[in-house]
Amino acid sequence: MAYTSQKHRNFVAEPMGDKPVTELAGIGDVLGGKLEEAGFDRAYKVLGQYLVFGKDEKRFKEWLKNTTEAIKKEQNDCFGCLKEWCDRFL
């Protein structure tokens, strides 16, 4: 398995609940602020977007880049976090 951050491991270890968007791996205060401005203030809303895209990696990463200007690493971290969470809980 690829290296994952502590933030990633914490996120995927439990149900999502009402976690703020900044608890997603790859999403810090700056990207979180941009997501909040776009109406995605909670992690479950970003998960919803991921599901709308049919869990498609390319489409989700493009959306995240266009919405927040996330770099590749941030895109990869956020996608991987949501993918693993879905694999565990859906």
pLDDT of residue 81: 96
- Global pTM exceeds 0.85: yes
Quick check: 2 pLDDT over 70? no
Three-state SS string over 44-61 comes to HHHHHHHHHCCCCHHHHH
Q: Rounded to an integer, what distance in angstroms lies between the CA atom of residue 19 and that of residue 58?
A: 25
Query: How many CB atoms are located within 10 Å of the residue 75 CB?
Result: 20
Render pLDDT for 11-39 as a digit per residue (tens, 0 to 9). Answer: 999 999 999 999 999 999 999 999 999 99
6-89 CATH pick, 3.50.50.60, 3.10.580.10, 1.10.150.40, 1.25.40.10: 1.10.150.40
Tell me the domain boundaries of the chain. Answer: 6-89
Q: What is each CA distance from 64 to 15, 19, 40, 88, in whole angstroms? A: 22, 18, 11, 22
Q: Give dist(CA 81, CA 9) in Å, integer.
A: 8
